[in-house]
Amino acid sequence: MSEPRDYDPSAEGAEMNFDGRMSYGDYLCLEQVLSAQKPRTDAHDEMLFIIQHQTSELWMRLAIHEVVAARAAIRADQLQPAMKTLARVSRIFEQLNSAWDVLRTMTPSDYTHFRRKLGQSSGFQSYQYRMIEFALGNRNHAMMRPHAHVPDVLAKLEAELSEPSLYDEAIRLAARRGIAMPEEVLSRDVRHTHTLHDGVTDGWKVIYEAPETHWALYEVAEKLVDLEDYFRRWRFNHVTTVERVIGLKRGTGGTGGTSYLRRMLDVELFPELWRVRTEL
């Protein structure tokens, strides 16, 4: 009985020679990506720690790309593309959530083998995370200071602050479509965080009480709630992971660690969309 032959994809036309031609690795710049992990110790779990954070930053880069596109679509009254894009952002945060599950396989003992080599670096210094929060509406100016030493990054954050947030655009969309929204909210200084306003809650209440009449706005509102739901889960899993690994110790960047992260759980991005549920 003859031995089975190994399958040769070239027999069906697959390209096998990439000398001078673009390959998979070329297109994705894998040489640069896969050489970006530079552990500072010989601790086994440091590679996990680096890759988890690097991949999270890649997902955040995509989240920024999509949030900016969704905001532009809402501004232009192109709601179908906006709905697709917002759904994608929620799925991105689902991926970010899953990353914590992998990191939680690292024990406190494992982390102690390389934690001292992190210096003062800490996740709260992620400028991409700050861009996401700014774009969604949490515009805490104090969080600009960790980036003051990098002019290009500071300029990006400043530029984002000059734009209405995603939630600002949703409120303006509702006003354009005949829902009464407070003028002081519509004309406010968008560089600062929007705060809960009863008039905005009343506007969303009109939509939620008659979704069949205001279906497009109702769908926008629910997509925003989906997004914040996933975002909250990501924050909660962050707290749980940090407490599991370092307990109540201070973070490497000098924050209170879990106490700082728990404070972030109280931040509401779209406050009236949560409050309106009580009003119905």
Model confidence pLDDT, tens digit, residues 118-151: 888 877 789 999 999 999 999 999 989 989 999 9
User: What gap in Å lies between CA 104 and CA 258, rounded to an integer?
Assistant: 15
Tell me, letter by letter, the H, E, C secondary structure of 218-263: HHHHHHHHHHHHHHHHHHHHHHHHHHHHHCCCCCCCCCCCHHHHHH
Q: Please, is 139 exposed, middle or buried when counting C-beta atoms within 10 Å of its C-beta (0-12, 13-18, 19+)?
A: buried
User: What's the Cα-to-Cα distance from 207 to each of 140, 184, 215, rounded to whole Å?
Assistant: 30, 20, 8
Q: Average pLDDT for residues 82-90, to the nearest whole number?
A: 97
Model confidence pLDDT, tens digit, residues 23-34: 999 999 999 999
In the chain, the N- to C-terminal Cα span, in Å, equals 75
Sorting pLDDT into bands at 50, 70 and 90, what band is 99?
very high
Residue 265 has pLDDT above 80, yes or no: no
Residue 15 has pLDDT above 90, yes or no: no
CB environment 123-135: b (16+ within 10 A), e (fewer): bbebbbbbbbbbb
Residues whose CB is less than 8 angstroms from the CB of residue 209 and which lie 6 or more positions away in sequence, other chains included: 280
Q: Which structure tokens are listed for 149?
A: 């030493």
User: Lowest-pLDDT range, 78-82, 141-145, 268-272?
Assistant: 141-145
- Is residue 242 within 8 A of residue 232, CB to CB? The reply is no
User: What gap in Å lies between CA 272 and CA 167, rounded to an integer?
Assistant: 10
- Is residue 180 within 8 A of residue 202, CB to CB? The reply is yes
φ, ψ of residue 17 to 5 degrees: the values are: -110, 115
Percent of the chain scoring above 70 in pLDDT: 95
- Is residue 54 within 8 A of residue 38, CB to CB? The reply is no
pTM over 0.85: yes
Sorting pLDDT into bands at 50, 70 and 90, what band is 253?
low
| pLDDT given at position 221 | 98
Q: Average pLDDT for residues 202-216, to the nearest whole number?
A: 98
Residue 3 has pLDDT above 70, yes or no: no
Q: What is the mean pLDDT of the chain?
A: 92
Question: What does the chain come to in residues?
Answer: 280
- SS3 assignment, position 130: helix
| pLDDT given at position 242 | 84
Residue of higher predicted confidence among 178 and 7: 178
| pLDDT given at position 113 | 93
Residue 21 has pLDDT above 80, yes or no: yes
The letter for the amino acid at 153 is V
What's the longest Cα–Cα distance across the chain?
84
